[in-house]
Amino acid sequence: MRLRVPRPATLGPLLALAVACGFFATQSDRFWTGDNLSLVLQQVMVVGVLAIGQTLIILTAGVDLSCGTIMALGGIVMTKFAAELGLPVPAAIAAGIGVTTLFGAVNGLLVSRINLPPFIVTLGTLNIAFALTQLYSHAQTITDLPGAMTSLGGTFHLGGTSVVYGVVLMLGLYAFTWFALRETAAGRHVYAVGNNPEASRLTGIATRRVLFGVYVMAGVLYGVAALLSVARTGVGDPNTGQTENLDAITAVVIGGTSLFGGRGAILGSLVGALIVGVFRNGLTLMGVSSVYQILITGILVILAVGTDQLSRRGAVA
Amino acid sequence: MCPLQAGRQGVGAARLTLIAALAAAIATPARAQQPIIGLITKTESNPFFVKMKEGALAAAQHDGVRLLTAAGANDGDNTGQVTAMENMIAAGAKVILITVNDSKAIVPAIRKARARGILVIALDSPPDPVDAVDALFATDNYEAGMLIGSYAKAMLGSRAPKIATLDLFPGHPVGAQRHNGFLKGLGLPAPPKSSNELGRPPQVVCMADSYGNQSKGQAGMENCLQKDPDINLVYTINEPTAAGAFKALQSAGKEKGVIIVSVDGGCQGIRDIASGALAATAQQYPLKMAALGVDAGAAFLKTGKRPTGYINTGVTLIAAKPAPGVDGKDVRTGMALCFGKRD
Amino acid sequence: MKESKSANGTVLEATNLVKRYGHVTALDGADFELRPREILAVIGDNGAGKSTLIKALAGALVPDSGEIWLDARRVHFKGPNDARRAGIETVFQDLAVAPAMSIAENLFLGREIRRAGLAGSVLRMLDKRRMMAESAAHLAELRIGVGSMTQPVETLSGGQRQSVAVARSAAFARHVVIMDEPTAALGVKESGMVLELIRAVRDRGLAVVLISHNMPHVFEIADRIHVQRLGKRVAVLNPREVSMSDTVAVMTGAIRPEELPTVAQSTPLRV
């Protein structure tokens, strides 16, 4: 089996990441150290997992504006259940992930059965999840969590640096999703539904089930992201997740997945998330104002979408 | 920040809240005769404003006026606040209390309201120019910064400060005032109160944005520690950010040697001071602000007397360890006066 | 009500199909007969009920009344999957391919082969090697010249894309391949390629139903021509004995089929 060279759409983000890392390494000798790189991985951990769900949805030509706020709700549910209701930690975590999965299912139902545009549906769920989070938490962070709840924030030693367990979980989820999308019929059907939903229907693919499944899977992943967020900060924060809505979409787009559906690589989203994290970290190390970080993120998004379009135009006969 | 999202959300959220409030107002005919006061906060989610709303509601009940409430979708959402103001006036509100998200952009809407005889009082944050409103009940965020700055200076003693600042985001006046006031209190060169730019003397080795958010505060602190592991003083825009900074310091094993200061005075923040996670905070009084605002509004509705000028609702330094030469109060006092969940 | 049809030897047959949409009658007692190993062209003006007839045969709609027989058995298709399972494949006008996916993936779209053993049943892994090999074999059998099975379909020319869609139907069809306007979007050379391909499909043993507006193409490859008019079958013509202009005249109603010489009319198997 020959090794397939990644297409320009996925090669581009990797190159951008490499160039960024190279640049920051020259600007600060603290950048390219095991500790700092481990730090960047921790910092992108939460958005990284959100981006997996977002990638699945965007591959079907949908979009999910509610991912961050659903995650926040899941985080509040699991921390409140554990810290205030005294539920055992696994049950509390299951409850949190259950809530996020439920929201994913609602999104999926409205998109696949009622045929509402995903942008509108998730815009609505975004607000509903946000309001429910505020109401249930009374706008207070939940502290004094049982130790087991934050265990994914713990570290182990790998070649001189400490690596957070949550990062390993994130990488594992990416590997699993990469495998499923590449090697299973269900994964290929996700691409088919995004690329040509009518063709999928006509060739016998259960299009509605694929769409529903993608949103439910994403809901589960948002719950895992909530657990990672709780593990990292040590609290249940009702105000988290608001910028993560767009951060996840940004990571997916920079990673080369097309918003029109049917094209993209899951690992690209990891690269996209890393690019944003690397810039944030690198610019802080350089002492550059954060305004430039926002500017650069915007430029990267345009570049990513532009190169994807251009590479496609070159490939089509 | 996405203006489109903020705008749509702002309109949506403001409208929803207002419709709910209006529905409640209409549903109780006995109270339909009551005069109406509108309160517009910056966001729904910050406990500071949640407390403010509670205080306003209590004062409104006491004064026999009907209170309508609304908020922007997020920090900086001006459109949502303008819409809320228009809707409240249409609903019959004769007094508007507002904590402005954007000090300049809100002014035309305020002027339009006042031209119709509506009393507009700004709470917590001044509009620009400040005389656009009838009166301002606020705390001086610059003074708050100065308080924690002078506390930090006293606690540092002879040590040279190596400072990290975890700010809100670029261009926000409250963020700038607290930050610059802090520098001034430390005795360092700092921009004046009127500036929206963040001062950066050489002692500030790292600056990061937290958006007032705990996890971003944590990430900012982590990156700053990577840049300079010898940071000994951290200024944070608010207490959730300080909590994030503390977590980052803990992970790096540095929490003992670093002083963290903040502003707000929420109950969680006071608890953090008690536990040693936070050195000092400048406590502000949203309840008092809101109550004063509602009382003044009620008085105007009854007697036609307009409040004017600037009334400082006060800011107090709360710290576990008293600093020589700096006026402050202890944790118990802070706990008694804090906003948020008490136990 | 099952009648043995094997003596008559039709592959696909329909009698008295009726389909109404409100006040509009799309099929008004339409008949249909497809013989083994033949190319039957279905022609008709707009509103003649051509596409309704074809959709009923392909399982895309359920007629109000009438009977459909496949290979001597009565069938009731409730959806396109039923027809597909019965061995009837359709090549749609817009091809129904996923452009970003490879030829092999498109050929097996919705019918992917899984690996043997645990890899297939537990891990649900696809047998990509086998799908590629089989795709290459199917295309080679029909003498379609394409480079690699891993090429995305969107990199192919219009004619090549059409060929891939035809190959897909031929690969999975057991009795009938229905093609809806296969040469409509193609130039002269590519049309020739596709027509040759349709012949190859017939030569492999399948019966082909071809819907087309293109009279020259119809006359080039059809064995018989089914003329649909006003919701009914009005004639089945022999392209070797009737002229193109007469055919069009029958289609538009300018001539009545009885006015044509008997040799022009194809002998029905059933009266």
Does the model's pTM come out above 0.80? yes
**pLDDT confidence band for B27 (50 / 70 / 90):** low
Residues of A in contact with B5 (CB under 8 A): 65, 246
Distance CA A189, CA A200 (A): 8
**Residues B14-30, mean pLDDT to the nearest whole number:** 56
Inter-residue contact B47 to B342 (CB < 8 Å): no
**Residues A144-162, mean pLDDT to the nearest whole number:** 89
Q: Would you call A233 an interface residue with chain B, using a CB distance cutoff of 8 Å?
A: yes
Task: Output the six-digit token pair for C5.
Answer: 């049809």
CA-based torsion, B124, B129, B130, B133: positive or negative: negative
Tell the residue number behind the tokens 């994913």, with chain if given.
A104
Chain C: partners with 3+ C-beta pairs within 8 Å: A
pLDDT over threshold 80, residue A316: no
Residues constituting chain A: 317
C112/A183 touch (CB, cutoff 8 Å), yes or no: no
One-letter amino acid of B141: N
Of C14, C176, C195, the closest CA to residue C90 belongs to C176
Tens of pLDDT, residue by residue over B35-55, are 999 999 998 877 788 888 988
Nearest CA in chain A to B218: A233
Q: For position A3, what pLDDT does the model report?
A: 45
The percent of residues above 90 in pLDDT, for chain A, comes to 68
Of A40, A44, A95, A50, the closest CA to residue A71 belongs to A50
**pLDDT confidence band for C1 (50 / 70 / 90):** very low
CB-nearest partner of C156 from A196, A199, A317: A317
Distance CA A258, CA C206 (A): 40
Phi and psi torsions of B323, nearest 5°: -105, 140
CA distance, residue A46 to nearest chain C CA (Å): 27
Nearest CA in chain A to B46: A139
Inter-residue contact B307 to B121 (CB < 8 Å): yes
One-letter amino acid of B111: R
- Cβ count near A25 (within 10 Å): 14
State the DSSP code for C112: P
Inter-residue contact B126 to B136 (CB < 8 Å): yes
Q: What is the rounded average pLDDT for all residues in chain B?
A: 87
Tens of pLDDT, residue by residue over B97-149, are 999 988 888 999 999 999 999 999 999 888 888 889 999 998 889 999 999 99
Give contacts of A 199-238 with C, CB under 8 A: 199-200, 202-205
Task: Output the six-digit token pair for B280.
Answer: 């000092």
Chains B and C touch (3+ CB pairs under 8 A): no
**Residues C110-136, mean pLDDT to the nearest whole number:** 91
- Cβ count near A34 (within 10 Å): 13
CA distance, residue C126 to nearest chain A CA (Å): 5
Residues of C in contact with A200 (CB under 8 A): 98, 109-110
**Residues B317-325, mean pLDDT to the nearest whole number:** 90
Inter-residue contact C250 to C234 (CB < 8 Å): yes
Residues of A in contact with B46 (CB under 8 A): 139, 239
Tell the residue number behind the tokens 């249940």, with chain if given.
A236
Phi and psi torsions of C124, nearest 5°: 55, 35
CA distance, residue C168 to nearest chain A CA (Å): 10
Q: Where are the alpha helices (DSSP H) in chain C?
A: 50-58, 80-85, 103-107, 117-121, 128-141, 158-172, 188-203, 215-221, 244-252
- Quote the strand ranges of chain B, DSSP E: 36-41, 66-71, 93-98, 119-123, 135-138, 163-167, 204-209, 233-236, 259-264, 280-284, 309-312, 315-319
In this predicted complex, what is the ipTM? 0.84
Tens of pLDDT, residue by residue over B177-225, are 999 999 999 999 999 988 888 999 999 999 999 988 899 999 999 999 9
Q: Is the pLDDT higher at A129 or at B286?
A: A129
B5/A239 touch (CB, cutoff 8 Å), yes or no: no
Q: For position C5, what pLDDT does the model report?
A: 43
Q: Where are the alpha helices (DSSP H) in C29-127?
A: 50-58, 80-85, 103-107, 117-121
β C207-211/C39-44 pair status: parallel
Q: For position C271, what pLDDT does the model report?
A: 42
Residues of A in contact with B271 (CB under 8 A): 143
The answer to whether the bond into B129 is cis (omega within 30° of 0) is yes
CA distance, residue A21 to nearest chain B CA (Å): 15
pLDDT over threshold 70, residue B19: no
Nearest CA in chain A to B225: A285
Q: For position B30, what pLDDT does the model report?
A: 47
Q: Where are the alpha helices (DSSP H) in chain A?
A: 8-27, 34-59, 67-83, 89-112, 118-137, 165-183, 185-195, 197-202, 207-233, 244-254, 266-286, 290-315
A196/C98 touch (CB, cutoff 8 Å), yes or no: yes
Inter-residue contact B263 to B148 (CB < 8 Å): yes
- DSSP sequence for B143-172: HHHHHHHHHHHHHHTTSPP-EEEEES-TT-
pLDDT over threshold 60, residue B4: no
Task: Output the six-digit token pair for B262.
Answer: 């903040």
Q: Please report which helix (H) or strand (E) contains residue C149, including its range.
A: none
CB-nearest partner of A139 from B50, B206, B213: B50
Q: Please report which helix (H) or strand (E) contains residue C28, including its range.
A: strand C24-34
**Residues C90-117, mean pLDDT to the nearest whole number:** 91
State the DSSP code for B188: S
Of C177, C228, C242, the closest CA to residue C32 belongs to C228
Q: For an interface test with C, which of A5, A202, A263, A313 has the most C Cβ atoms less than 10 Å from its Cβ? A: A202
Inter-residue contact B173 to B192 (CB < 8 Å): no
Distance CA A142, CA A234 (A): 9
Our CA angle for B277, B282, B283, nearest 5°, is 100
Distance CA B197, CA B170 (A): 8
CB-nearest partner of A204 from C110, C114, C124: C110
- DSSP sequence for A197-236: HHHHHHTT--HHHHHHHHHHHHHHHHHHHHHHHHHHHSSB
HSE, CB side, 13 Å, CA atoms: give it for residue C97.
28
Residues 6+ apart with CB under 8 A from B149: B181, B182, B183, B184, B185, B186, B187, B235, B261
Helix axes B214-227, B239-251, angle to 10 degrees: 50
Q: What is the rounded average pLDDT for all residues in chain A?
A: 90
Q: For position A288, what pLDDT does the model report?
A: 86
Phi and psi torsions of A207, nearest 5°: -55, -45
Residues of B in contact with A65 (CB under 8 A): 5
**Please, which residues bridge with residue C125 across strands?**
A184
Q: Please give the order of strands across the beta sheet that includes C39-44.
A: C88-91, C176-180, C207-211, C39-44, C224-229, C232-237
Q: Would you call A35 an interface residue with chain B, using a CB distance cutoff of 8 Å?
A: yes
Q: For position B15, what pLDDT does the model report?
A: 60
- How far, in Å, are A108, C36, C51 from residue C202 at the CA level? 44, 9, 22
Tens of pLDDT, residue by residue over C27-74, are 999 999 999 999 999 999 888 888 889 889 988 889 999 999 998 889
Tell the residue number behind the tokens 């009551």, with chain if given.
B34
CB-nearest partner of A199 from C90, C97, C112: C97
State the DSSP code for C154: G
- How far, in Å, are B133, B175, C163 from residue B244 at the CA level? 36, 17, 61
- For the ranges A10-24, A232-246, C207-221, the maximum mean pLDDT occurs at C207-221
Distance CA C52, CA B248 (A): 69
Of the candidate ranges A39-48, A127-136, B11-20, the one whose mean pLDDT is the lowest: B11-20
Task: Output the six-digit token pair for A187.
Answer: 């994964």
Residues of C in contact with A188 (CB under 8 A): 101, 105, 112, 126
Of B207, B200, B198, the closest CA to residue B178 belongs to B198
Of the candidate ranges A61-75, A117-131, C162-176, the one whose mean pLDDT is the lowest: C162-176
* HEC per residue, A77-99: HHHHHHHCCCCCHHHHHHHHHHH
Per the rule left: phi > 0, alpha: psi between -120 and 50, beta: everything else, C181 is left
Burial of A260 (0-12, 13-18, 19+ CB in 10 A): middle
Residues of A in contact with B218 (CB under 8 A): 232-233
C95/A185 touch (CB, cutoff 8 Å), yes or no: no
